[in-house]
Amino acid sequence: MSELQRLKGLLPPEMQSWVFVEAAAAADPPLISIEEIGRDEVEIQVDLDPWDQLAIDHRNLLFWHEVGRIQNDTVPRDGWEMAALAIGLGGAIGELWVQDGLLLVLALGLSGFSGYRLYLKNNSEKRLADAIAADERAIDLAGRFGYSLPNAYRSLGGALKDLVERTRKKKKRSFYENRLEALRKSASRARAEMAQQQGSRQSVTSENVYG
């Protein structure tokens, strides 16, 4: 079984008909990314050479992180916001010329909404919050595929640590470090909850996040 076929098998059954897994074809692609290929279809693209260098558990959790992004509907939408912003601003200028108040308000409303969507897409805090939410989804998905909670946290933590060590750009490395710190806190909460349920503290340890 090829790696792409193996990853396809890690998709939840309800997503297998409309989410596809392919090798990245772009020059210098990201390790793993998502692209919309149709109105109701999404493609997860993997740069196989560096991908194959990761431990299989790390690959699994990084893959489920991307699946989590799809489930949370936080995948960028083909740049429609930029097009809408251009249309809205162009319309506003045009309506100023012909002095149609209603159409001017509509054009300004379109440009304002699309500008706000662009702000959200490029806002670093929003991106981090979305990534942390997708990490939580990845932990849940790992459980569906037979991982214990400690092993799920350990595998995703190890994967993020790999990304930190491999990333040279300071901003991007800081992004992974922030995700790792959030995962540590999540593991600590999970440990406390499990300890309370089981009447002991022999469960997840936050240190396990670091592999």
pLDDT given at position 84: 42
CA–CA dist 129, 1 (Å, integer)? 35
Asked whether residue 140 carries a pLDDT value surpassing 50, the answer given is yes
The string of pLDDT tens digits covering residues 152-172 is 999 999 999 999 999 999 999
Structure tokens at 187: 């593991």
pLDDT given at position 145: 97
Neighbours of 204 (CB within 10 A): 25
pLDDT given at position 194: 84
Structure tokens at 206: 């936050």
All structural domains of the chain with their residue ranges: 80-122, 148-211
Is 42 in contact with 36 (CB distance < 8 Å)?
yes
Average pLDDT for residues 189-208, to the nearest whole number? 70
Query: Is this model's pTM higher than 0.85 or not?
Result: no
The string of pLDDT tens digits covering residues 41-84 is 999 999 999 999 999 999 999 999 999 999 999 886 654 444 44
Average pLDDT for residues 6-18, to the nearest whole number? 97
Higher pLDDT, 208 or 8: 8
